[in-house]
Structure 1
């Protein structure tokens, strides 16, 4: 089976979908981001293609045999090839952290109302849940769970599906008036916090009284953590969908999906012609930290950079019939 997603098409997608507006960031910085990811994308896709081709050849040799009749050498070869492919695909973690660090450079090098850098994370979509997979301020190899949010019941992700980006720049106010929700945030306490302070008082609180102990009382900790931290109790957030809007790519992906995967895959397709892979999220402990024009452009810029990696990952790890067959054979073995 030939690989259905070419390097050329993926890189063409990046170049054609960048939002390189004049004020997004320094041109040299944008060039360095693109150059870094050009090399990384070519390496990621070509290695994945070669490993996948080796797995394909192995399975073609074994396809006439009953899984129960595979000898030990055949099992070991299949296991080794599948493990090598999965291990390589998981380097998307390092690629994601590299780009999150680059995104933070954008904030650190500009003029901001706070010297505190925002947090940044990437959330993936699985069935109806949106869960954090990578976060810059946690141990990078940590498997500690975080709360998952139902994508159909969370205003943030519903808005992103309609208009690509969303900014909540005053979460205490947005909880009360605009239905902002978060599984860690106590809505009643957040509204009470807002009602007890006018806009001026809250701005003074942000500027001179960080951390805000009263605001921290409105939040619950992540699972398996002992308590909240000032950085995890944010007042501003910017969220951008990681997506590709291309009917040909969506049709290609749909053709690869088998009937037993349709329920899993359908969660990516709320908008005709658009396939969603997840969300790139930023947050900050001060109100009105994010710029509604330039920071949204920056978010789209980096989400478009990340999109081809997630597209390749989904294809080789989840949609490829050879990857699924290898996984099933190895699971049957155990």
Structure 2
């Protein structure tokens, strides 16, 4: 009609069936598997990135000690002769007379003590009467330190002060006696450590900073203080009551203004390895205090004896050495991430139960 083609549409609700070839059919089940596969790939990618970042950043950000530091044993000028009941120690040091210009070497200290065998086989600890410096000002005896105390430590890379924190008291023995190596510096201060306790010193023979046992430090070593190293003027051995072993975030502790390590050589690994081994403890400490507040103590307190955590480390130190030293760092980091995820999942589930 008038050159216009009319188009007739089918009535409503009438549909035309168009045959579709079999090769054009779409599998819904296949699409679902594709979606699940993409989600799984995404999760694996996130875990892989987190593992890589953890493996790279943890040694840089959380370990403030050199990887080359190791607990070494060297010859010492302090000679001790021990019988079953008596320990006799003679320390020879160099002193300068004020009346003459000559230098004379004399026997400075001779100490003879009779102590039980248990007092000479203690773990690496501090004397409880020594002092640490608080960030808020003032000083506090080691025996009075509490978890969460803000204290100062010294970075052995540039000898600068580092704000630190007490994480755990690993060992408390207020009533036990122990044999201490007491070091006195040219600055006049002194501090005491048990023989297996380690501390960073500047070895003048090797011309480098190294970690040594207290019973291996010699007069040729120099102590590390804020901004400098100082000479040792005297090394003596005494028996005193009360020894303690705090754990810090950095793995160091400034005692009477001198830098020391909080670890002992009894684990038979370097202080850097021990710092890495205690990494899960520090992470757990940070997470719990972030969630429950800065006054929360995530670990049980003991009044006397060895804390369960270092006791576990000592019992399984062979396995832990294999775990930390032999396995690759990405694997170790993955285990840490799994622990963190498990803790977060457990915490969130508790919150959900409270809201129900």
TM-score by length of 1: 0.22
Return the index of the structure with the highest Cα Rg. 2
Higher strand share: 2
Decide which structure has greater helix share. Answer: 1
Q: Structure 2 length normalisation: TM-score? A: 0.21
